[in-house]
Amino acid sequence: MSTATDTPDRTAGRTAAGPAPAGRFRPLRWWPAAVLLVLVVAPFSAVPVPGLLDGPLGSAGSLQLLATCLLFGALATGYDLLLGRTGLLSFGHALYFAAGSYATNLFLLEAGLPFALAAVLGLLFGIALALALGSVSLRVTGIGFSMVTLAFAQAGSILVSRDPGGVTGGEEGRAAPSDLLPSSLVGIDNTANLYWIALAYLVLTLGVVHWAVRSPTGRVWEGIKENERRVEVLGLKPYGFKLTAFVVAGALAALGGIVHLLLTGGSTPQTTTSDFTLSLLVMVVLGGSGTRWGPMVGGILYTWADHRLGDLAGSGTVADLPAVLRVPLSQPLFLLGVVFVAVVHLLPGGLARLPSRLRGASNRKETGVS
């Protein structure tokens, strides 16, 4: 039988045990801020990173590679708004990335506009294109939606390659006019500024995606992904919500195209192909679709591996191997494919699921559960 004297003890125990976890300081929660600080100050560092980068961390070559990795990490995060958050498999996302790049470049080359105005107009063009094509593509669902987006992407790629009126440059692309770009963004000496722009784009994309998925609209996206018919039964119209996701993802892609224009100094037709979108799909699956950090991690690692494995494939070490090893290892796509298959097979759910899987394995080991 309980007594009156036990009650305060139990109450005190609950009070002591309850609030403690909520108020406990957790340093690990602040790791994104620590990583961001390291990335911000990276251009000031001369620390060598052998194996990962060719030169010191703050060298122009290293910063260029890092900026490209950050750019594609952000692009994969924006693409996951469709795939991982709303369940829309689009094969035409590259079109909006290319639209931002080509439109901005054309406003510079053909109209002679200052860069800031050309970038704003290029972004608006990308948003308008996503709105127009998304409103058509989303009239169908499932594989039909994927095929329609692929058709639009293929049409855009053909248009660019045909070079109507000489405005796209065809297979050669078109270089951005350096005299119309801000002087602080031109030249190898200003690589750090381009790196910070790519970093800012990544932070902006992460912020927009995080805010969007936590909003009421984001919760509807999750419902659409799980069961679109159930959303309709609740009295909501999925079409408008899916179009919103499509336009937001397209706007982020168009902004990425503008950053890519600055990083590479021009617009290239490779960014218009369906292979480009397939690369985004691989990045998202590699990192973990539908997770907060997975697509970013997948985009960064895939881009880094794409560049570094290319160097490895052309190295003397590979050239000296027997033909049975030299031939496959001299193909960067083969190496990337092997890495991708290994990750998908060994880590279902992508790299983002690795910490939870390790914790689960550790808990099973401690409890003796096989």
Average pLDDT over residues 154-173: 90
Percent of the chain with pLDDT over 90: 57
Q: pLDDT: is 27 or 252 the higher one? A: 252
Spatial separation of the C-alpha atoms in residues 295 and 74, rounded to whole Å:
8
Reported as a single tens digit per residue, the pLDDT across 58-107 is: 999 999 999 999 999 999 999 999 999 999 999 999 999 999 999 999 99
User: Considering the entire predicted model, what is its pTM?
Assistant: 0.86
Average pLDDT over residues 161-184: 90
Q: Which residue has the tokens 């080509």?
A: 102
What is the residue-averaged pLDDT of the chain? Answer: 86
Q: pLDDT: is 17 or 125 the higher one? A: 125
Please say if the pLDDT value at position 28 is more than 50: yes
Token pair of 293, please? 């950090």
Predicted confidence band of residue 10 (pLDDT cuts 50, 70, 90): very low
Spatial separation of the C-alpha atoms in residues 149 and 132, rounded to whole Å:
12
Please say if the pLDDT value at position 211 is more than 70: yes
Please check whether residue 104 is in contact with residue 261, taking contact to mean a CB–CB distance below 8 angstroms: yes
Task: Give 357's Cβ-side CA count (13 Å radius).
Answer: 9
User: Residue 225, exposed/middle/buried by CB under 10 A (0-12, 13-18, 19+)?
Assistant: middle
Reported as a single tens digit per residue, the pLDDT across 303-357 is: 998 887 777 666 666 667 777 667 676 776 777 777 778 877 777 788 887 777 7
Average pLDDT over residues 139-145: 93
Token pair of 100, please? 């931002």
Q: Which residues contact 352 (CB under 8 A, 6 or more apart)?
A: 287, 288, 291, 292, 293, 294, 297
Q: How many angstroms from the chain centroid is the CA of residue 227? A: 25
Spatial separation of the C-alpha atoms in residues 370 and 364, rounded to whole Å:
6
Please check whether residue 236 is in contact with residue 220, taking contact to mean a CB–CB distance below 8 angstroms: yes
Spatial separation of the C-alpha atoms in residues 218 and 216, rounded to whole Å:
5
Please say if the pLDDT value at position 12 is more than 70: no
For residue 8, the model assigns a pLDDT of 44
Token pair of 331, please? 């193909």
Percent of the chain with pLDDT over 70: 85
Q: Which residues contact 41 (CB under 8 A, 6 or more apart)?
A: none
Residue type at 124 in one-letter notation: L
Q: Which residues contact 148 (CB under 8 A, 6 or more apart)?
A: 136, 137, 140
For residue 265, the model assigns a pLDDT of 92
Please say if the pLDDT value at position 4 is more than 80: no
Predicted confidence band of residue 165 (pLDDT cuts 50, 70, 90): confident
Please report the DSSP string for 107-153 in residue order: HHHTT---HHHHHHHHHHHHHHHHHHHHHHHTTS-THHHHHHHHHHH
Please check whether residue 136 is in contact with residue 148, taking contact to mean a CB–CB distance below 8 angstroms: yes
Residue range 56-367 forms a domain whose CATH class is: mainly alpha
Please report the DSSP string for 36-73 in residue order: HHHHHHGGG---B-TTT-SSBTTSHHHHHHHHHHHHHH
